[in-house]
Amino acid sequence: MALDVADFNRLVEEHGPALYRLAYRLIGDRHEAEDIVQETFRSAWKSRERFQQGLGERAWLVAILRRRTADYWRRSGAQKKRTGSAGLPPDLPSPEPPDQGYIDPIQRALDQLPEELRETFLLVVVGELTHQQAAEMLGVPIGTVLSRVSRARVRLREALLAAGIQEK
């Protein structure tokens, strides 16, 4: 069943904020994240006739967002370095203005995670997918997702505490 305009507008309102948070944490730049989300919704609109009700709107949109993020990295030629700028060693200061780069301690802590832990954590916690949806999207057993999210939480907590961020 294809989405009509009203259904699509509802998707944008309901899922847009979570998609933006996920895109920001995957890319680390607010302007690029906005562009990625826009491209995600553009792709979703173009493929709306293939949408199947009941299979999970958020999972469908996140799958599209992941593809648009991969396209971004491919287009930019940037490696997935999340500290500093692409092509610069991580210990050199970034030439980006401070409000556009990875300046918050959470992003720095996320950058320290291995890719598989970071992506799984972001899909479940930031993207608000169920563990089962994340497992299907990543092509891994649900136990792997549970383990990755748990390990990511522990490592993030340790990194934030080491950076002087106190628990509330």
CATH number at residue 139: 1.10.10.10
Per-10-residue mean pLDDT, the chain, length 168: 80 92 88 93 87 76 90 72 36 35 73 90 91 92 96 92 75
Query: What are phi and psi for residue 77, nearest 5 degrees?
Result: 70, 5
Say what the pLDDT of residue 86 is.
35
> Which amino acid, one-letter code, is at 101?
G
| Rounded distance between C-alpha atoms, residue 5 and residue 9, angstroms | 6
Q: Are residues 82 and 138 in the same domain?
A: no
| Rounded distance between C-alpha atoms, residue 93 and residue 43, angstroms | 35
Q: Which two tokens stand for residue 50?
A: 């293939």
DSSP state of 11: H
CATH number at residue 65: 1.10.1740.10
Say what the pLDDT of residue 84 is.
36
Q: Residue 132 falls within a domain, yes or no?
A: yes
Question: Please, are residues 114 and 100 in contact by the beta-carbon 8 Å criterion?
Answer: no
Identify the domain boundary among 52, 70, 94: 94
Instruction: State the helix-helix crossing angle for 5-27 and 57-76, rounded to 10 degrees.
Output: 50
Q: Which two tokens stand for residue 28?
A: 């680390």
DSSP H stretches of helix in the chain: 5-27, 30-46, 57-76, 105-111, 115-121, 131-138, 142-162
Say what the pLDDT of residue 164 is.
79
| pTM, to two decimals | 0.69
Domain holding 71, by residue range, is 1-94
Q: Residue 61 falls within a domain, yes or no?
A: yes
Say what the pLDDT of residue 70 is.
86
Say what the pLDDT of residue 95 is.
32
